[in-house]
Structure 1
Amino acid sequence: MMSIFAAVALVLTSAILSVAFPLATYTFTLAAFGLTHVLTELHYVDNRFRQRLGNNLCWRMSQLLILIIGLRSLQVLSLIPTWLSITLELSCVVGLVILVIPVLAKKDWRLGIFGTMLCLTLTVGIFSSATLTLLIFAILHNITPVGFIAEKLRGKPRNNALFSCVVVFLLIPLLIISGIPNQVLSYLGLVGLEASLFPVGGLENHLGIFVPPQLQDEAIAISLFSAAVFLQTMHYAVVIGVLPKWEKHHKSQNEHYVFPWLVGFLSVILFVSFTREFIHTRAVYGIIAAVHAWVEIPILLLALAIPENSQISFQGISSQKLSNK
């Protein structure tokens, strides 16, 4: 009962802060929890899914992820233009999806079609507006915990959790976008759009993270930004607060205890860097953030096709045959 009360309190507090102080909430949560959530999420994905993928597929996916790291690094160093980096990065994401289509099709032809349609959607997005496509996927990435929850749980716990996800990841963001919470908090004098805990510049310098350029001058821009900040905060909460409890630890006790300390140490260093130079630190953080965001697309697709305790190889040969159950 106490855990439910704490969860509700966290959701409501995050929603209020995201609307009342969107810039402060975005910058502080990113600085404080960004790297922690990335490393925790990567650790969970490796722990839960590596054995199902097989070495061959893991290696091929790793090659594309390394290429993405290289592209992001070149972009941060201003060695290639941003538009080219984004276009090539999204092309690598298309490649990640293509790698898993044979596995999806082997399980169910409809999954194969779904994977193919996703590739086509990404390709159209690249040619129409790669920057907008990247922005949309950056926002949609915040709902990936729903996929992990659906993959992990079964029966009534799964249904209850997914119902909660509908409220948290859909209904509350839509309410925020409606502008009603902003109007209520503004009436109470509780809104500080430019407030921040450390120097990060004005809100206009950060709107582009979640709001397309076409909408940044519209009245809805602030509400869209606040909704995205809330989604990001909830993403952090599930990844850091829930996923580690579901991990199976096959490694030694020493390794089990070293990881949290290492994550904490690196996160403190990055937090200090964020407080000193937010924009540049965010660009560097984006390198590893891109890896964890893009790898989850093929991983969650494969979760539809590969049951737990199964393995595959790139050629489609499994140590345990893919069942149709």
Structure 2
Amino acid sequence: MMSIFVAVALVLTSAILSVAFPLATYTFTLAAFGLTHVLTELHYVDNRFRQRLGNNLCWRMSQLLILIIGLRSLQVLSLIPTWLSITLELSCVVALVILVIPVLAKKDWRLGIFGTILCLLLSFGIFSSATLTLLIFAILHNITPVGFIAERWRGKTRNYALLICVVVFILIPLLIISGLPNQVLSSFGLVAWEASLFPVGGLDNHLGVFVPPQLQNEAIAISLFSAAVFLQTMHYAVVIGVLPKWENHQKSQIKYHLFTWVVGFLSVILFVSFTREFIHTRAVYGIIAAVHAWVEIPILLLSLAIPENSQMSFQSISSQKLSN
């Protein structure tokens, strides 16, 4: 009962803060929990899916992720233009999906079609507006905890959890976008859009993280930004507060404790850097954040084909495909 109360309080508090103080909530949560959530999520993905991946597929995916790191690094150093970096990065994401299509098709032809359609949509997005496509995926990435929940649980437990996810990850953001929460809080004088806990510039300097340029001057822009900030906060909460509880640390408690100390140490360093130079630090943070965001797309697709209790790996299915 206490855990339910804490969860409800966290959701409501996050929603209120995201609407009342969107800039402060976005910048503080990113600085405080951004790196922690990235490393925690990568640790969970590695522990839960590595055995099912197989060495061959894991290596090929790693090559594409290393290429993405290189592209992001070149962009941060201003050695290549942003538009080119984004285009090439999204092309690598298409390649990541293409890698798993044979596995999906072998398991179920409908999954193969789904993967193919996703590739086509990504390709269309690259050619129409790569920047907008990247922004959309930055927002959609925040709902990946729903995928982890669906992959982890079964039966009534999963149905109940997914119902909660609908409320948290869909209904509440839509309510925020409607502008009603903003009107209510504004009537009590509780809204301060430009407020921040450390120097980050005005809200206009950050709207582009979640709001397309075409909408940044519209009345809905603040509500869209607030909704995305709330989603990001919920994403952090699930990744940091829930995923580690699903892992089995009994066999390697020392390694896990060492991991948590390293994560804490690095997160403190990055937090200090965020407070001193937010924009540049966010660009550097984006290099590792890109890895954890893009690797989850093929991973979650493959989890549809090979559930946890399956005796087969992704690699074995792929090998069967080739032998046939």
- TM-score bracket, normalised by the shorter chain, equals over 0.9
Q: How far does residue 249 in structure 1 lie from its aligned partner after superposition?
A: 3.4
1:255 aligns with 2:255: yes
1:312 to 314, 317, 323: 314
Q: How far does residue 247 in structure 1 lie from its aligned partner after superposition?
A: 1.1
**Any unmatched runs of 5+ in structure 1?**
319-325
Letter matched to residue 82 of structure 1: T
Distance 1:314 1:81, change over 3 A: farther
Letter matched to residue 25 of structure 1: T
1:321 maps to: none
> Equivalents in 1 of 2:284, 2:141: separation in Å?
19
Please tell me whether the aligned partners of residues 48 and 248 of structure 1 are also in contact (alpha carbons under 8 angstroms).
Answer: no
TM-score (norm 2): 0.97
Please tell me whether the aligned partners of residues 151 and 307 of structure 2 are also in contact (alpha carbons under 8 angstroms).
Answer: no
The 5 A counterparts of 1:11-22 are 11-22=11-22
In the comparison of the two structures, how many residue pairs are matched?
Answer: 318
Please tell me whether the aligned partners of residues 29 and 233 of structure 1 are also in contact (alpha carbons under 8 angstroms).
Answer: yes
> Equivalents in 2 of 1:314, 1:178: separation in Å?
48
Q: How far does residue 36 in structure 1 lie from its aligned partner after superposition?
A: 0.2
Q: Secondary structure at the match of 1:67?
A: helix
2:175 maps to: 175
The 5 A counterparts of 1:201-216 are 201-216=201-216
Task: Show structure 1 runs of 4+ deviating over 2 A.
Answer: 248-253
Letter matched to residue 316 of structure 1: S
Q: Secondary structure at the match of 1:62?
A: helix
> Equivalents in 2 of 1:189, 1:181: separation in Å?
12
Q: How far does residue 251 in structure 1 lie from its aligned partner after superposition?
A: 5.2
TM-score (norm 1): 0.96
Q: Secondary structure at the match of 1:313?
A: helix
1:148 maps to: 148
> Equivalents in 2 of 1:253, 1:292: separation in Å?
24
> Equivalents in 2 of 1:242, 1:256: separation in Å?
15
Please tell me whether the aligned partners of residues 18 and 226 of structure 1 are also in contact (alpha carbons under 8 angstroms).
Answer: yes
Please tell me whether the aligned partners of residues 56 and 314 of structure 1 are also in contact (alpha carbons under 8 angstroms).
Answer: no
Q: How far does residue 311 in structure 1 lie from its aligned partner after superposition?
A: 1.3
Q: In the TM superposition, what whole-angstrom CA distance separates every residue of 1:39-81 from its partner, at most 9, and x where no partner exists?
A: 0000000000000010000000000000000000000000000
Letter matched to residue 255 of structure 1: K
Q: Secondary structure at the match of 2:315?
A: coil
The 5 A counterparts of 1:160-309 are 160-249=160-249, 252-309=252-309
Please tell me whether the aligned partners of residues 39 and 263 of structure 2 are also in contact (alpha carbons under 8 angstroms).
Answer: yes
1:127 maps to: 127
> Equivalents in 2 of 1:9, 1:25: separation in Å?
16
Q: How far does residue 315 in structure 1 lie from its aligned partner after superposition?
A: 6.9
Q: How far does residue 269 in structure 1 lie from its aligned partner after superposition?
A: 0.3
Letter matched to residue 99 of structure 1: L
Q: In the TM superposition, what whole-angstrom CA distance separates every residue of 1:267-315 from its partner, at most 9, and x where no partner exists?
A: 0000000000000000000000000000000000000001214313277
Q: In the TM superposition, what whole-angstrom CA distance separates every residue of 1:153-203 from its partner, at most 9, and x where no partner exists?
A: 111111111000000000000000000000000110000000000000000
> Equivalents in 2 of 1:233, 1:126: separation in Å?
28
Give RMSD over aligned pairs: 1.0
Q: Secondary structure at the match of 2:78?
A: coil
